[in-house]
Structure 1
Amino acid sequence: MDLIQGSLRNPISRFMVALAIVILGIIAFSNLAIDLFPDISYPIISIVTEYPGASPEDVEISITRPIEKRVSRIQNVRFVSSRSREGISIVNIEFYWGTNLDLASTDIQQALSQIQDLFPEEAKLPVIIKFDPSQISVLVLSLTGPMDEFQLRELAEDFIAPRLESQKGVASANVFGGQVREIQIELERSKLEGMNLPLDKVAQAVRAGFMDKPGGSLKTGGREYVVRTIGRSPAVRELEEIVVHSHNGTPVRLRDIGRVRDGAEDAETEVHVNGVRGIVIGVQKQIGGNTVSVVDNVRKILPEIQKELPKGVSFQIINDQSTFIRKSIQNLQKEAMMGALLAAVILFLFLRNVTSTLIIAHSIPISIICTFVLLYFGKFTINIMTLGGLALGVGRLVDDAIVVLENINRHLELGESPMEASYKGAREVSKPIIAATITSIVVFLPLAFVKGIAALLFVQMAYTVAFSLLASLFGSLTIVPILTSRFLRGSKGKEKRSSVTHSLFQKTQTLFLGIDQSYQRAIEFALSHRGFVVLGVVVIFSGSLLLIPLLGTEFFPPSDEGQVRMGIRLPPGSPLEETKKRVEKVETIILSEVSELSSLWARAGSGKGRSVIFGGRFAGPHTGSASLMLVDQS
């Protein structure tokens, strides 16, 4: 029993299978992540090693060169580059596309363990970081209020960031700007020399004194007590009492050779929000997370956090990636729905039969819903490429059903029963439509040999189009014959038309007859002037090839996200203070000249973290940046 005959004999089972797939597709759609582009992971791993206080030359010789020599021997390494700055070494390793970065990270860790003994004692352990574009902040918040910068940053790090990180899908909440508390010890050189007290001994004594240590246990009176010595204290006065030396039998305390004060770290960056110094919190999503869902979760909890903040402290959203994603996805969905609607209208005008139009048009929603099953189990996301694939295939989804229905209708006109006409009509054209579908899918086969970022982008589109076409083919050979055998009749059983439908068909009859006659004349001319027609096609094709050099090329078409980003770079070696002056001038110009400005976030200096690692020559105290969010004119 073939597929068509089995469907006609067991229509209920086929409908139940189709219904189950549709329900599964709806569930899959509700759980799909939404993003602008597919998940793109560049095959780049960075090794970051801090060497506090070392010059770039020392970092290069002691840290960078040994790492470069060792990691260059790892398998699948394409290119190794490095940057040595004051106190930090950054080695970037680029692998060939398709390399498993998890295994590569393990190989790098093993390679580093073999040379770690060669590093200076002051150097910190190397940190391995994978480059992932998805780790760009999906939501950027500013925090302002009548508090000093230290308190504001402490509030952001100790209270707000943990609350944000507890939300589903949030990987981290990074705090930028403000001041970081630092206990500073200022020693008097003359006193150290008088006691013959080296600086490193003072440092060791402070380190040992500022530490909680276990003291064992004490059993007495049937009870057991855990004993520990308390050394860690945030109070400056208690730190001054630490004994660092014994001089002539007299204990020397820290306050005897210097003073301890509660200060702040040397600023490496300064953040301004709308021209005022403030704190910025960047929210990052988890790898493979749903950008829109993460932003929604964070937005929901912001009012609750706001209620618990001190009076006068407030939030402001200065960058939201989900806004552009929502608009892009909504526009694409709108265009796809419009295309499906237009396809149904064209079918109705040419078939001139409501029943036939509905039988064919059902292929569009069912095929699209079935495709969501592939997207979910294939770990794809709803993005521009997958939705673009669905929009691309909307017109093609009805082709198989049209061919099957027209052939079934021909058999009905010959006087055959609906059941017999449905079977014969579908069976006769089954091989041609299968071949046509396979031909359409094979077009995407060369993408299997594409490497790099193009493969990550367009492979998802290829899978989407292919699966939707296969779903349409399955529906054309199963659901369409069942529906025609139940609802479609020959010329003797034509459906009754309303006065409106009849009037529309009468008015368009002349137009369609004219189109049909024009097509017949064109065919007759082409058959009687074959050489001329072939020559004309060749000339037009050759002429179109000559236009290719005149066309521009770009990876992505231009888009308007409503955001402007700019970088500011002074000569290397410029101090942070000079960079701040330049950034403030840029802020003044923007605030006075840009009337469409919604929010402005500017930063002088690159600070620490990923911005330093992946900033290249645009990282350091001599660099700055500004991000403008513009008002949505729509």
Structure 2
Amino acid sequence: MIARIIDWSVRNRLIVLALCLLLLIGGIESLFRLKLDALPDLSDVQVIVKTDLPGQSPQLVEDQLTYPLAASLLSVPGTKAVRGFSMFGESYVYVIFKDGTDLYWARSRILESLSQSTGKLPAGVAPTLGPDASGVGWVFEYALVDKSGKTSPARLRALQDFYLKLELQSVPGVAEVATLGGLGRQFQVEADPARLAAHGVTMEQLSQAVKDANQAGGGAPIEMARAEYLLRSNGYLKNPSDFDNIPVQTDAGVLRLKQLASVTTGPQQRRGIADLNGAGDVTGGIIVMRHGENAMTTIAGVKERLEQLKKGLPPGVEIVTTYDRSSLIERVVHTLRDKLLEESIVVAIICGVFLFRVRSALVAIVTLPLGILAALWIMRVQGVSANIMSLGGIAIAVGAMVDAAIVMIENMHRHLEKQEAHDIWVVVRKAATEVGPALFFSLIIITISFLPVFTLSGQEVRLFAPLAYTKTYAMAAAAMLAITLTPVLMGYAINGELPPESANPVNRFLKRLYRPVLNVALTRPRATLVLATILLATAAIPFSRIGSEFMPPLDEGDLLYMPTTLPAISAAEAANLLQRTDAIIAAMPEVERVFGKAGRSDSATDPAPLSMLETTIMLKPKSEWPIGSSKNNAELIAKLDKTVRLAGLTNSWGFPIKTRIDMLSTGIRSALGVKISGPDVATLENQAKQVESMLRMLPGTRSVFAERVQSGRYIDVEVLREDAARYGLSVADIQRAIQMAVGGESISTVIDGRERYPVTLRFPRGDRDGLGTLEEIRLKGAGGSVVPLREVARLTIADGPTELKSENARPVAYVFVDLSDADAGRYLEQAQKLLNEHLVLEPGYTLSWQGQYMNFKEGKARLWSAIVMTLLLVSALLFLHFRDVRKVVLVLACLPFSVIGGIWLTYLLGYQLSVAVVIGLIALAGVATEFGIVMLLYLDQALEEQPGNPYSAILTGALLRLRPKAMTVAVILGGLLPVMLSDDAGADVMKRIAAPLIGGMITAPLFSLIVIPAVYWLALRPSAASVSREALA
């Protein structure tokens, strides 16, 4: 079949060229339309359900909102996990779906489930869905800074909420604009408890009076003088003075509000704080990108809109970019683009050196851009974005892509040197059909070898599937071009007299080096086989010592500092710690800017408590770092970790994208952690503390922190039901009075044009800061009697949860582990052994390890199983090709011998075993299989030409294979060398993939050039015993 395709291509040359021209045009067009991103979207499909219950404790939020919602959402089809977060006044339920679930289908299923759950929730509570964004949707962040000192913090917050936010939300691709930090303005009605008591007025009466005074209305149209007039009545409150004359009905008559309370404007209660460079409070914004959108296009649209909006800002107010993922995307894409160009140049030079003819080299090179463009075309159709992994798949395929063309061109040279025919197309057809079928089959084997990657699941398949797709597409395109375009181009470009192979000094040197080694191997085949086996056994040394990791570090260009402090921290103390740590980090010479966050932004994608600090660190370009400063991120993190040491903080360092992926995927913000599940929150905290103390002493632990679930401080109000009943007061009456007096209940809204500000009612700070003052809160009992709270309730101080977490409706507590040792596998073995021996879990409690490394362990097991199945498939295909079990075994023997060099180089470079390394080994195995197939092809052809002298035939066939083999090895090494020498964005991941390939290019050629001929001769020798070896002379 392949021979017929080659023959058709040679006869229909113009059609082939026209089709390749269409491929060129389509590929170039796709090049400009591809979606660009730094990484594939590694996050799970998630739907967030956010529900507010203002003023209520985490335990009440858990009981009334989170638990009933989580329990009902567990039954939604396709659900993988349901994680609940109960905080002060807010509930978050994250529903994580299985891979392949359509986000908008999932959102509709959640809405259906919520419609059936509303009866289980408190009256007036309405759950809402979070934005239709992925877990890594935070693509751009900014801060508003006033350098003139004339714009108040409240005005800056208003500019963000009512100007920038509304405009940016209309940018295509933006799902949400979340406000962070700043001082939100509110109208505060502070009632004087003494005056209320003196006039017998309750908080409920004040609340109703304010609501009645802040109204607008209208009526039916009125016709006057042949015109229609619309009736309107505007009674909106505008400023604090408007509140003063609000009438309040009392038993003694009508009072004005100013006689009972004072009205001011002030900041809203904060659950989120932002800081820039340690200079103090700022207002920030977070751009959350819609699921499936083009990150580069979305960010460009946001930047363009911000430039337009800057003109409308007050003088002195500036917008400062604090995080911009497009810079990472540009660096990743430019790095890989440059590497592809460098690889192509290196490949062209190598082809020219070995073939000693420019036009021959150009024929081999032409298939490279066409194959790449074909892969890009398919990527665009499939919707795969151009990122470090998808472009990396093409980068590691470059050498193998031109291998088939090299072998075919080299065979063409050999036929032309023999001057076999005057018609060039006859020579082309003969040369191409001789090696074409085997080459096509080899490339198909290389393509099939990547099937195990698609058996991965979860984050592993989302990370590496784009690489496998693009490499598969590139290799498939190269295979088709090798049997269609390459023969046509050979006929047009390779003609006339060619310099003989012996005229090339490189070829002469290689043959002079190879011939005596091959003679020794053929003379002593058994000794050669024993020596090869010993060499194979040496691979046990690096295998036993090499560590393991999930994903190599990706240099995102920015760092994320996420320390943890005690949960009971106040907003003021959190702001103080945030400002101090930011100032320390900003002073580092490698740092350009830091943007810190304590608590959460106004987004359902950010369920962070005040105790969680996050500082995004924008680094300067490495060329601007101080002379002598290490350019290694790990060393910079170690330096920062030693510098930022404050009492009460447990440091944790990472990268913005990677950390958010970890948090979404496993529920923890570190690569490794422990999850403890059980019914009682206090017991969970105790067990988590035990784990923390044990792991802290374990070598390799940089930091460990167990969540303090019960570290919150509470003032418990216990209603004395009998006393309350005597005064005619219900529990609801008492709780509502407390909520209004202390909690600052929002009772109305001031409408000022497009701006909206809440109106809150409560006691002044001095009347709600202690038990004594709280006990004097007045309640109106039956018959108009006024009752102090102490008469109907008992107030006590107690500990309780500041935040409650659950997974699948079961309470959980986490222990976060940050490792100083990169070998997560060995650390995990030691940690598991330590906990198994010393930790005693209470009945009903379970412990499990979480984090991305656990995903790697599961993925690695699936990967090895799939590799075994793929080897069986490849073996079957090889048997169909050769129809000889001995040859199948000989080709498969190339695989372990190629792995020797790959494992040794990986170990010597200090890399850990990861999925990336395994991907490199899989790619190496495919190339090694091709080496074996083509070597056997040359040996078989030589044996057919010299059937009477097999020894001489084997020697001749092996020598014929030397030049194309050397070219293939040089091309692959030359193609991968730029990747190994790079320190740019994405290089750490690509180096792990390239290292096994480079190491294998040392041992795999040696096996195919030396061991395969020796074993081939050993298998034939009994039947050739009568042949004299003197025929060699």
SS in 2 for 1:415: coil
- The Cα offsets for residues 289-313 of structure 1, whole Å up to 9 and x where unpaired, read as 3333444444445554444432222
CA distance in 1, matches of 2:346, 2:304: 39
Matched with 1:79 is: 81
- The answer as to 2:116 corresponding to 1:114 is yes
Matches within 5 A, 1:325-336: 325-336=329-340
Equivalent of residue 457 in structure 2, options 451, 467, 482: 451
1:314-372 deviation per Cα after TM superposition (whole angstroms, max 9, x unaligned): 23323322223322322222222212211111111111112211111101111111211
Relative to structure 2, which stretch is displaced further, 138-147 or 331-340?
Answer: 138-147
Give the TM-score normalised by structure 2.
0.56
Residue 488 of structure 2 is aligned to residue 482 of structure 1: yes
- Match of 2:322? 318
**Change beyond 3 A, Cα 1:572–1:486:** closer
> Could you tell me which residue of structure 2 aligns to residue 629 of structure 1?
618
Identify the residue that residue 538 of structure 1 maps to in structure 2: 533
2:519 alignment partner in structure 1: 524
Q: Distance in 2 between matches of 1:163 and 1:92?
A: 28
Q: How far apart are the structure 2 equivalents of 1:304 and 1:93?
A: 38
SS in 2 for 1:140: strand
CA distance in 1, matches of 2:6, 2:77: 53
Could you list the per-position Cα deviations for residues 199-247 of structure 1 after superposition, in whole angstroms to 9, with x for gaps in the alignment?
3454345345434345233344443333343233433333445555476
CA distance in 2 between partners of 1:149 and 1:72 (Å): 43
**DSSP-derived class of the 1:229 partner:** strand
Counterpart in the other structure of 2:445 = 439
Q: What is the CA–CA distance in structure 2 between the aligned matches of 1:232 and 1:404, rounded to whole Å?
A: 85
Correspondence for 1:616 = none
- Asked whether the 8 Å contact 2:278–2:581 carries over to 1, the reply is no
Change in CA separation of 1:485 and 1:600 when aligned onto 2, cut-off 3 Å: closer
Mean alpha-carbon deviation: is it higher for 145-154 or for 103-112? 103-112
Separation in 2, partners of 1:296, 1:46: 27
CA 1:78–1:7 in 2, change beyond 3 Å: closer, same or farther? closer
Which residue matches 2:58?
56
Of the three residues 591, 594, 600, the one matched with 1:597 is: 591
Q: Which amino acid aligns with 2:519?
A: E
Superposition pairs of residues 231-630 of structure 1, within 5 angstroms: 231-243=235-247, 245=249, 254-255=257-258, 257-277=260-280, 278-412=282-416, 413-489=419-495, 493-494=496-497, 509-592=504-587, 594-610=588-604, 612-613=606-607, 619-630=608-619
CA spacing shift, 1:494–1:621, aligned 2, 3 Å: same
- Of 89, 93, 96 in structure 2, the residue corresponding to residue 91 of structure 1 is 93
CA deviations on 1:53-112 (whole Å, 9 max, x unpaired) are: 112222222122222322223334343332322212223333433444433333332222
Which letter does structure 2 place at the counterpart of 1:595?
Answer: P
In the alignment, residue 407 of structure 2 is paired with which amino acid? V
Aligned amino acid, residue 553 of structure 1: S
Give 1:32 deviation, angstroms.
1.0
Rate the CA distance shift 1:307–1:608 in 2: closer, same or farther, 3 A.
closer
Partner of 1:603, secondary structure, is strand
SS in 2 for 1:288: coil
**Counterparts in 2 of 1:21 and 1:416: CA distance versus 1, 3 Å:** same
State how far apart, in whole Å, the 2-side matches of 1:293 and 1:68 are.
36
SS at 1:74 equivalent: coil
Counterpart position of 1:37: 39
Paired with 1:317 and 1:68, the residues of 2 have a C-alpha distance of 37
The number of equivalent residue pairs is 616
Q: How many angstroms apart in 2 are the aligned matches of 1:623 and 1:259?
A: 35
SS in 2 for 1:90: strand
User: Is contact 1:7–1:14 with CA below 8 Å preserved after alignment?
Assistant: yes
SS at match of 2:82: strand
> How big is each residue's C-alpha offset from its partner over 1:530-552, in whole Å with a ceiling of 9 and x where there is no partner?
22222222322232134223223
Q: 1:136 aligned to 2:138?
A: yes
What one-letter code is carried by the residue in structure 2 that aligns with 1:155? L
Larger mean Cα displacement after TM superposition, 372-381 or 32-41 = 32-41
Between stretches 431-440 and 594-603, larger displacement belongs to 594-603
Is the deviation greater in 216-225 or in 371-380?
Answer: 216-225
CA 1:282–1:59: 2 relative to 1, 3 Å: closer
Q: Using the alignment, how far apart are the partners of 1:448 and 1:625 within structure 2?
A: 35
Whichever residue aligns with residue 611 of structure 2, its letter is: H
1:133 to 1:62, Cα distance in 2 relative to 1, 3 A: closer
2:222–2:229 Cα contact (<8 Å) kept: yes
Distance 1:232 1:424, change over 3 A: farther
What's the secondary structure of 2:344's corresponding residue? helix
CA distance in 1, matches of 2:108, 2:394: 39
Change in CA separation of 1:292 and 1:177 when aligned onto 2, cut-off 3 Å:
same
Shift of residue 261, structure 1, vs aligned partner: 2.3
For residues 179-198 of structure 1, the C-alpha deviation after alignment (integer angstroms, 9 at most, x for no partner) is 11111222344665677655
Partner Cα separation in structure 2 for residue 214 and residue 537 of structure 1: 96
Report the 3-state secondary structure (helix = DSSP H, G, I; strand = E; otherwise coil) of the residue aligned with 2:486: helix
Whether the 8 Å CA contact 1:46–1:131 is kept in 2: the answer is no
Q: Distance in 2 between matches of 1:169 and 1:63?
A: 32
- Identify the range of structure 1 (298-307 vs 623-632) with the bigger mean alpha-carbon deviation: 298-307
* Structure 1 SS opposite 2:231: strand
Bigger Cα displacement from structure 2, 355-364 vs 11-20: 11-20
- Name 2:25's counterpart in structure 1: 23
Unpaired segments of 5 or more residues in structure 2?
624-1033
Amino acid across the alignment from 2:388 = I
Q: Deviations over 1:535-586 (max 9, x none)?
A: 2223222321342232232233234444332223332212112222323332
Aligned equivalents of 1:211 and 1:16: distance in 2?
74
- Which whole-Å CA distance do the structure 1 matches of 2:344 and 2:265 have between them? 68
| TM-score, structure 1 as length reference | 0.88
The residue identity in structure 2 corresponding to 1:118 is K
Greater Cα offset, 400-409 or 109-118: 400-409
Question: Secondary structure in 2 aligned to 1:557?
Answer: coil
In the alignment, which of 105, 110, 115 is matched to residue 107 of structure 2? Answer: 105
Q: Do structure 1's residue 185 and structure 2's residue 185 form an aligned pair?
A: no
* C-alpha contact 1:3 1:477 (8 A) present in aligned 2: yes
Query: 1:364·1:394 contact (CA, 8 Å) conserved in 2?
Result: yes
Tell whether the 8 Å contact from 2:354 to 2:504 is kept in structure 1 after alignment. Answer: no
Counterpart of 2:553 in 1: which secondary structure?
coil
Query: Contact 1:569/1:624 (CA < 8 Å) preserved in 2?
Result: yes
Q: How far does the alpha carbon of each residue in 1:467-523 deviate from its partner, in whole angstroms, 9 at most, with x for none?
A: 11222222222222222223322xxx226x9xxxx9xx99x8444212113223233
Stretches of structure 1 that go unaligned for 5 or more consecutive residues are: 614-618
- C-alpha distance in 2, partners of 1:182/1:327? 44
**Quick one: structure 1 residues 337 and 591, their matched pair in 2 at CA, closer, same or farther if it must change by over 3 Å?**
closer
- Alpha carbons of 1:546 and 1:44: their partners in 2 closer, same or farther (altered >3 Å)? farther
